[in-house]
Amino acid sequence: MKMFDKRYLSLLREIAVTRYKLKDQRTFLGFIWSFLNPLIMLSLLFVLFNARLGNKIDHYAIYLLIGLVQYTHFSNSTNRSMQVLLSMRDLTSDAIFPKELLVIGSVIADVVELVASMAVCLTIAGLAGVHLSWSILMLPFVFLLQLTLVLWVSLCLSCVYVFVRDLAHVYQAFMRLLLFATPIFYHASFLGEGAAQYVVWLNPLAHLVGFSRSLILDGGLFSMHQMILFFAANLVLLYWSIRLFRRYEPVFAEYV
């Protein structure tokens, strides 16, 4: 694949660095906010739901924080990557190179935030009395799975956004629904039997959050069979998202 040419790998690195510098992390307050945002949400959700939903969940605050960290990363990364072809329109319209590099670079830039936020989460978990076992060494594999998910979603969104700018409003509404469709402040068993369970089962973010909670809170490995199936499904979706992106790439310059 031409994107793995040495020249393009250097370009990808520069795009990722540029995208990272363009985020709010370039200021001290912006950097702090990237950690405070999930903590503020954690405080609110803990106050609202601890008495009813959290009384049967050990270390409910950490349970919440893990879900919020991964949800926040997914939301922020896909939103920023969706608009990267427009925000970097000079490269999209004038430069000749695989335009998926812009999306991939944007996604890579946000991985730093995910890793740093999860490191803070682990620190808080240790201070809160959670026994952290060797299983947390598997967290990089969860990050890889989340990166794969974010990447194919971002490729699809960025492709459609070039032609349909209202997609940003629709996606914001979707993310609000996803907050409730992901077991962040409740356990999946709370939903009982029925359609709600199937909605959660079809939600890939719910599986990722479950993987992290197994490693951090339960101190054991997640189901390798489930992880392999999840990874395989996302690889297939990534393949088709790249094909979709490349099919419409020749006309991006006319719309940006």
Per-residue pLDDT of the chain (256 residues; tens, 9 = 90+): 555 556 678 888 888 888 887 765 555 555 566 667 777 777 788 787 777 777 778 898 899 999 999 999 999 999 999 999 998 888 888 778 889 999 999 999 999 889 988 998 999 999 988 999 999 999 999 999 999 999 999 999 999 999 999 999 999 999 999 999 999 988 888 887 778 888 888 999 999 999 999 999 988 888 888 889 999 999 999 999 999 999 999 999 888 7
pLDDT at residue 145, rounded to an integer? 95
CA distance 212 to 177: 22
Q: How many CA atoms lie within 13 A of 166 on its CB side?
A: 0
CA distance 52 to 55: 6
pLDDT at residue 178, rounded to an integer? 95
Q: Does residue 181 contact residue 200 with C-beta atoms inside 8 Å? A: yes
The burial of 202, by beta-carbon neighbours within 10 Å (0-12 exposed, 13-18 middle, 19 or more buried), is given as exposed
State the amino acid at position 83 in one-letter form: Q
CA distance to 78, 139, 153, 207, per residue, from 173 (Å): 14, 30, 16, 21
| Residue 31 Rama label (left phi>0; alpha psi -120 to 50; beta) | alpha
Q: Does residue 171 contact residue 76 with C-beta atoms inside 8 Å? A: no
CA distance 210 to 35: 21
E-strand stretches of the chain: none
State the amino acid at position 230 in one-letter form: F
CA distance 34 to 156: 25
Instruction: Give alpha helix (H) positions in 5-59.
Output: 6-22, 28-49
Element (H, E) at 74: helix 60-82
The burial of 28, by beta-carbon neighbours within 10 Å (0-12 exposed, 13-18 middle, 19 or more buried), is given as exposed
pLDDT at residue 14, rounded to an integer? 85
Listed by start position, the domains of the chain span: 2-255
pLDDT at residue 31, rounded to an integer? 58
CA distance to 47, 86, 126, per residue, from 22 (Å): 34, 14, 33
Residue 1 DSSP SS3 = coil
pLDDT at residue 224, rounded to an integer? 83
Query: What token pair was written down for 87?
Result: 């925000």
CA distance 244 to 39: 37
Residues in the chain: 256
